[in-house]
Amino acid sequence: MYLIQYNMIKIAMALLLGICLSVLVGACSVLLLPSIGGQGGIGGDGSVMTINAEAISVKMLSLYHAAAKTCPGLSWSILAAIGSIESDNGMSSLPGVNSGSNYMGAEGPMQFEPATFLAYATVGPGGAVPPNPYNPVDAVYTAATMLCANGASNPSGLEAAVYDYNHSLRYVEQVLAIAKQYRRSMGATR
């Protein structure tokens, strides 16, 4: 009985996520983040729900930490928040995460448009040569490179750098709120 209910919930969430993605990718992916990853996100009323960095795979968490070190002043939690919003830290099976592109043309776990990825493409340790947006190492290191190039190394430039990543003030608010929750859950200030 419980297995049937669990599967029905999974199917309903998948359908709801598909509908939301076709309507409004950025906002809906964050609103549904608790459902697809069990980690939390921004509630429908704008409140921040509980986020647990321990729910991120060890591989992705390590990538976020290592890539952030390439940009002094950039917190791993910003990369983790972006990865959570964009692809549930690479765990989403939606189009564009592991192959192809989403309906907006974005690719990979950090959801880059092809031209943007090419402009900032960075091969991280053990990444693909040439860099590949679907390779989690390259995607995370490229995100760090882009954020750093756009001012994320300076606290006063962080919001603008996140805005350059996705031109939405709501997206910036969501990234900063999720990053704060990740830092709190890991007992870190940076």
In order of their start, the domains of the chain are 55-186 (1.10.530)
pLDDT recorded at residue 9: 53
pTM score, two decimals?
A: 0.74
pLDDT recorded at residue 51: 61
How many H-runs (helices) and E-runs (strands) does the chain carry?
9, 0
Can you tell me the distance from the alpha carbon of 28 to that of 95, in angstroms, rounded to the nearest whole number? 15
Helix, strand or coil, per DSSP, at residue 166 = coil
Can you tell me the distance from the alpha carbon of 60 to that of 73, in angstroms, rounded to the nearest whole number? 19
Residuewise pLDDT in 10s, the chain (190 residues) = 444 454 445 454 544 444 443 333 333 333 333 333 333 344 434 444 446 666 899 999 999 999 999 999 999 999 999 999 999 999 999 999 999 999 999 999 999 999 999 999 999 999 999 999 999 999 999 999 999 999 999 999 999 999 999 999 999 999 999 999 999 988 765 5
